[in-house]
């Protein structure tokens, strides 16, 4: 059964001088799936994420979200259209509470921020959706804790909560497992498995165990190009992948 394509990359190319960091990359993300993107260090994963999220502009090619052309849009515009994102190195406002970090995403969803008068601290239209996003991540007990006091794993969860608060159509999660203990990792794995039914996830991940367990499809990026594509079993057995990535 072919499900709806929500995010699609079409023939992306990006060079830095002589280095071709992205070479003819095409892939898509369909409703209900986790599509994992793996690759050794220096394979060009960060460059690719940058182009999807809007920090980098591809030289050629196009990116579409639910049929909308994203390629010339800013980071903020892409987010408002429904591209949720978490960072490899967590990017939150440290001195602010968890809630305040999530509320900003809710605020963006409700239109422009040129509202100068009504205080946000008692605005239920902001508080409730933010609280719901935290509930999804089982983080409500930390709602009013400053991010600076959170553990590494909790910060990852807050990042995902921020992305969820945007009511995204597609999620781009950059190594969400990195730095999590076994317990946190297991918890997040479970969460992503239910989450994907609502929002498909493009997962960039180093933890191979998690990738093989979670991903419905896997694309392998080496030297800027997708060298293999398929489900876990296919990827595990692909000789080029074993050579390039699994070190056999």
Partner 1 sequence: MTNLDSSSTAEPGVAQHRARWHDRKGLVQIALLAGLLLVPIGLHLLGHVYYVNLASKVTLIAMAAVGLNLAIGYGGMVSFGHAAYFGLGGYVAGISAYHAFDATALITWPVSIPGSDNMLVIWLAAIVLCGLLALAIGAISLRTTGVYFIMITLAFAQMVYYFANSWPSYGGEDGLPIYLRNGLPGLDTNDALTFFLISFAGLVLAMAITSRLMKSRFGAALTMARLNDTRLATAGINPYPIRLAAFVISAMITGLAGALYADLNGFVSPSMLSWHFSGELMVIVILGGVGRLYGPLAGAVLFVMMETLLGGLTEYWQLFLGLLLLVVVLFAKHGVMGWLAGREHDE
**Could you say which of 1, 41, 114, 194 contacts partner 1 (CB under 8 A)?**
114
For residue 101, state whether it binds partner 1 (rule: CB under 8 A): yes
β-pairing verdict for 19-30 and 34-38: unpaired
Q: What x-and-dash track marks residues 177-216 binding partner 1 by CB under 8 A? A: ----------------------------------------
Considering the rule CB under 8 A, would residue 56 count as an interface residue with partner 1? Answer: no
Which residue in 12, 50, 131, 235 binds partner 1 (CB under 8 A)? 131
Among 98, 162, 164, 226, binds partner 1 (CB under 8 A): 162
DSSP 245: I
Q: In what order do the strands lie in the sheet with 19-30?
A: 19-30, 5-16, 60-65, 68-69
Q: Which is nearer to partner 1, 82 or 153 (CB)?
A: 82
Does residue 92 belong to the site contacting partner 1 (CB under 8 A)? yes
Residue 67 found at the interface with partner 1 (CB under 8 A): no
166 binding partner 1? (CB under 8 A): yes
Task: Using CB atoms within 10 Å of the CB of residue 89, give its burial: 0 to 12 exposed, 13 to 18 middle, 19+ buried.
Answer: exposed
Residue 41's nearest CA partner among 178, 154, 171 is 178
Give the residue from 143, 139, 232, 152 showing the smallest Cα distance to 191. Answer: 139
> Pairing between strand 60-65 and 5-16?
antiparallel
Q: Is residue 245 close enough to count as binding partner 1 by CB under 8 A? A: no
Whether the CB-CB separation of 178 and 148 falls below 8 Å is answered with no
Smallest distance, partner 1 to C-beta of residue 92, A = 6
Rounded Cα–Cα distance for residues 119 and 231 (Å): 49
The yes or no reply on residue 88 touching partner 1 (CB under 8 A) is no
Interface residues with partner 1 (CB under 8 A) are 53, 74-77, 79-80, 85, 87, 91-97, 99-101, 103-105, 107-109, 113-124, 126-128, 131-132, 135, 140, 143-144, 162-163, 165-166
């Amino acid at each position: 059964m072919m499900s709806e394509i929500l995010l699609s990359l079409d023939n992306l190319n990006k060079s830095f001088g002589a280095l071709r960091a992205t070479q003819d990359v095409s892939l898509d993300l369909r409703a209900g799936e986790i599509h994992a993107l793996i690759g050794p260090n220096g394979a060009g994963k960060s460059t690719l994420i940058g182009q999807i999220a809007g920090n980098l502009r591809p030289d050629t090619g196009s990116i579409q979200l639910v049929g909308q052309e994203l390629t010339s849009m800013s980071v903020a515009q892409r987010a408002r259209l429904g591209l949720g994102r978490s960072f490899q190195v967590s990017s939150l406002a440290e001195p602010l509470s968890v809630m305040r970090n999530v509320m900003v995403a809710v605020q963006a969803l409700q239109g422009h921020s040129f509202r100068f008068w009504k205080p946000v601290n008692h605005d239920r239209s902001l508080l409730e959706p933010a609280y719901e996003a935290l509930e999804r991540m089982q983080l409500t007990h930390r709602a009013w804790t400053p991010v600076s006091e959170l553990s590494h794993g909790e910060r990852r969860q807050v990042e995902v909560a921020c992305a969820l608060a945007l009511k995204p159509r597609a999620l781009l999660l950059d190594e969400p497992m990195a730095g999590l203990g076994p317990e946190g990792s297991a918890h997040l794995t479970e969460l992503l498995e239910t989450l994907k039914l609502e929002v498909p996830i493009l997962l960039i991940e180093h933890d191979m165990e998690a990738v093989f367990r979670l991903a419905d499809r896997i694309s392998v990026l080496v030297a800027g190009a997708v060298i293999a594509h398929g489900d876990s079993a296919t990827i595990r057995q692909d000789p080029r992948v074993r050579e390039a990535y699994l070190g056999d």
